[in-house]
Amino acid sequence: MAEKNLLEQLREMTVVVADTGDIQAIQKFTPRDATTNPSLITAAAQMPEYQEIVDETLKKAKQDAGSGASDKEIATLAFDRLAVAFGLKILEIVPKRVSTEVDARLSYDTEATIEKGRYLISEYEAAGISRERVLIKIASTWEGIKAAEVLEKEGIHCNLTLLFGIHQAIACAEAGATLISPFVGRILDWYKKDTGKDYAPTEDPGVVSVTSIYNYYKKYGHKTEVMGASFRNIGEIVELAGCDLLTISPGLLGELQATTGELVRKLDPEKAATMTIDQIAMDKATFDQMHTADRMASEKLDEGIKGFTKALETLETLLATRLAHLDESALVSPLAENVFHAYDLDGDGFITREEWMGTDAVFDALDSNKDGKITPEEMGAGLGAVPELVK
């Protein structure tokens, strides 16, 4: 009998999710779950096959917003509806769930986040989709976590993202969140930049963080699922074998599929239950104190919210420009330069993986020369490109 590859073995102990934000890529790989995000909508909005969806959504948003609404206001309304429209397309492909993001600008507003979550679910339900198939994706601020607590009590399931510290994870679990998405690779990126060191997979700060979160959850019986995300190499994945879910880019899925050898389960709920782990009573004062003390978590959360906000504002500008041309039936050319500037946070002329707020798979597709940076030329040439996927 042929030896099983690492991907086959991983699937026996962990739910594997494809980390890709491209609908065509999802069609090829058919992951269990998937997500919508600003980078998907930005890319798809400029692809001919999705032009009708975008244009019809803009026209309907203009009609519903009323005659006095500005193009910017209409574009803001259209963004939410486009997120749902693409979520519905994704749900025709994936067997389980789609995550749809709440506007990052609401990350510190609990009531507005609750309202947005209810609205997004109502749009899905109006289309005949059960709320069991939708996760509302919310940033792991204290305010976002409190919003998730309310939504979960209403049967609206939440995916808490931009999660970098144990204090965020504990607060999410106590709020009853369905899922958290700690960013393994982005934690590693921060530490490498801060210390100048390279880390072996066993010492990788992202791996250490997710392992600690997983063990804490299993020790104290929290039902919130842990989905490790944003991997830089298969060594990180191997060290997190056994995690509830792992979302992995197509390139790394290919490496796992091409690699044989024994995969040892590293995360195990029965082992975690026997560990000595101090329980932390989480309230806002404790959360704020731990968040301030954790420079990496506070910097990455702030950076993530600012990045998502800038990307959303650029997308709204693109949609408003598209809307302005609709009455003239003119085609709007791809505004890749504007998209580029949304992600080039420090204005140095290229986008690093740290700055990129979309999925790793889309970054890899745009980074044509694989130097870890996206130039304006690569953005213009590759926006909407589909990464090669594992068959």
By annotation, the residues acting in catalysis are 137
On the CB side of 110, CA atoms within 13 Å amount to 9
Cα-based torsion angle of the residue sequence 374, 377, 378, 381 in order, rounded to the nearest 10 degrees? 160
Question: What tokens were used for 358?
Answer: 């979309």
CA distance 121 to 123: 5
Q: Is the dihedral of CA 113, 114, 117, 118 positive or negative?
A: negative
Distances in Å between the alpha carbon of 387 and those of 18, 72, 80, 83? Answer: 12, 32, 26, 21
3-state secondary structure of 181: strand
Question: What tokens were used for 68?
Answer: 């006095």
Are the beta carbons of 23 and 44 closer than 8 angstroms?
yes
CA distance 323 to 8: 47
Contacts of 139 (CB under 8 A, 6+ apart): 102, 104, 107, 160, 161, 162, 301, 304, 305, 308
Question: What tokens were used for 46?
Answer: 């400029």
